[in-house]
A = this chain, B = another copy of it.
Amino acid sequence: MTEDRVDHIQQQWRRERPDLDVGPQALVGRLHRLADRLGAELVTVYRRHGLNEGEFDVLATLRRAGAPYALAPGELAQHTMVTTGAMTKRLDRLEDAGLVARERSSVDGRGRVVALSEAGRRVIDAAFAEHVRNEHRLVSGLDPTEREQLVALLRRWSESLDEIPDLS
């Protein structure tokens, strides 16, 4: 087991603050660094298709919703976990690029319906296929058993967070 950056950071803290138990950093810190690293690999594929992460996320959300590939801006904001203001701007860019179209909702004058255009559909289908290949590459260093264990542990951790009390 070679020593990595997180180990080194922990050692520094143990020297400087021996009164604190920095054990959990092994998990929290490593998870964050890994997420950053993986994220950087993923965006290279988005960029090849002329998209940034947020735009890919919007197109993918519309695509996997199934025909007619249309959702409201508010739904998209919820699914992609950004504010509606941020979504407005993403949609502005995607609309300018001709990848989505905004129409008035027929049932609610306040609402809009955002739908993939034909071009949008083509772009996300190509980008997503490459994205999946990229994900396969990124997990290829783990064998099937390790992947299963890791999925189970991440799931456990996620669920446990819902039941943890706030910091006093």
A interface list, Cβ under 8 A from B: 1-2, 4, 9, 12-13, 15-17, 20-28, 30-39, 41-42, 44-45, 63-66, 81, 125, 128-130, 132-142, 146-147, 149-151, 153-161, 163-165, 167
Contacts and interface: CB of A to CB of B under 8 A. Distances in A.
Nearest to A31: B35
Given A30-B154, A36-B81, A44-B167, A25 B138 contact: no
A161 B63 CA distance: 29
Given A25-B135, A63-B16, A64-B12, A30 B158 contact: yes
Nearest to A152: B1
A150 B27 CA distance: 7
Q: Majority SS of interface residues in chain A?
A: helix
B135 A28 contact: yes
A24 B154 contact: no
